[in-house]
Structures are given as C-alpha cells and as structure tokens.
Amino acid sequence: MKKENRAGLYLTVIFHLTVIIVLLLYQIDATVRREESFVIDFSKQEEIERQIKEMEEMEKEKDDFLSYVNLFGYNPKYGIEGKAIGSVTYKPQPYNPRCPLYEA
C-alpha cells in the first residue's frame, strides 16, 4: 500500500472514530440529564386514597360490597358481548333496577 493511500485510510479511520466518540458523549449526556430530572408523582397514590375514602363512605351507607364479588350486571337489551368469564356470574341489570343486582 502506498504511503498516500495509508494516510487517507488513517484519516478516514480517525474521522469515523471521532464521530463515534461524539455520538457516545451525546448519548451519555442525554442519559445523565434524564436521570437528573427525576420527579416524584403522587397522583396515583392520591387517586387510590380518594377511592378508598369513597368506598368507606359507601360502606357506611350500605355494607354489601362482598355481595358484588364476581358479579357482573349487563343491560338485558343488548345481552353479553364477547367471551364470558367462567368464575363470574352474569345477571341482567335493567336501566332502573328495583333491587340490588345480587338480589335479582
């Protein structure tokens, strides 16, 4: 290989290595910035606490939550859509029910 060809090859290799190093440094910098911008989000926890309070209030009004376990109501006008779940009881639930679903 001629001396001029080797010089061109060396310059090409140096150029490509420099580009790779710059890209890696940019990626490392982006990762570090992402980790520094950590934000604690309590919105899910607040939503869960709100739902628990709401359920406690409903339980004070009428203590029948366990009666609804594995019980799905469906509009008798439209029926059940899709594949039924074997462990669930399905009962028709009209628009204006006269009694709770578990008594129907």
pLDDT digits (tens, 9 = 90+) for 9-31: 888 899 999 999 999 998 988 88
- Domain chopping of the chain, boundaries: 43-103
End-to-end CA distance of the chain: 92
What's the pLDDT at 98? 85
Q: What pairs with residue 71 in β-bridges?
A: 89
Token digits of residue 85? 């779940």
What's the pLDDT at 48? 93
Q: Which of 19, 99, 18 is nearest to 64 (CA)?
A: 99
Q: Does pTM surpass 0.75?
A: no
What mean pLDDT value characterizes the chain?
85
Q: Are 73 and 93 in contact (CB under 8 A)?
A: yes
Query: Which parts of the chain register pLDDT below 50?
Result: none
Taking only Cα atoms into account, the Rg of the chain, rounded to an integer number of angstroms, comes to: 33
What's the pLDDT at 35? 65
